[in-house]
């Protein structure tokens, strides 16, 4: 991996590189519902469209779909959850949950705000 991580804050490095989790209800994008695209904080790859964001009341930004090919799923180290990472740089985003019946797509990407950067639509 290149040195993109050097531009990250210590908190962002903890989340993205060490697979940490920010405290619930503290992220800047938890209650953020503007039109645009959410990008990976580490490599700038486009991850999520604002049209796929919904309020799950879980404490983290939630999306029921990713931009095709942008997010990679893998079994978490604990073996119980599915971790989601940026498909481009493998930076940790959060976890994905299915079967909760929160949206018609029946999927919830629970993403750390610190893993993303929002780019508003012009």
pLDDT for 1: 47
Tokens representing 44? 């700038």
**Full set of structural domains in the chain with CATH:** 4-120 (2.170.150.20)
Q: In what order do the strands lie in the sheet with 82-86?
A: 53-54, 62-63, 107-111, 92-98, 82-86, 71-75
Average pLDDT, the chain: 94
2 pLDDT above the threshold of 80? no
Q: Express each pLDDT in 63-119 by its tens digit.
A: 999 999 999 999 988 899 999 999 999 999 999 999 999 999 999 999 999 999 999
Which among 40, 86, 89, 110 is annotated as catalytic?
A: 110
What's the pTM? 0.93
**Is 110 tagged catalytic?**
yes
* % of the chain surpassing 70 pLDDT: 95
């Amino acid at each position: 991996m290149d040195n993109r991580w050097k531009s990250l804050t210590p908190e962002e490095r903890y989340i993205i590189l060490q697979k940490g989790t920010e405290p619930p209800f503290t992220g800047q994008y938890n209650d953020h519902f503007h039109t645009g695209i959410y990008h990976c904080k580490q490599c700038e790859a486009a991850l999520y469209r604002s049209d796929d964001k919904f309020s799950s009341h879980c404490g983290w930004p939630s999306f029921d779909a990713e931009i095709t090919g942008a997010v990679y799923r893998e079994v978490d180290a604990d073996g119980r959850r599915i971790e989601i990472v940026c498909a481009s740089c493998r930076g940790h985003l959060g976890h994905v949950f299915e079967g909760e019946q929160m949206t018609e797509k029946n999927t919830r990407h629970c993403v750390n705000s610190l893993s993303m950067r929002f780019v508003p639509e012009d």
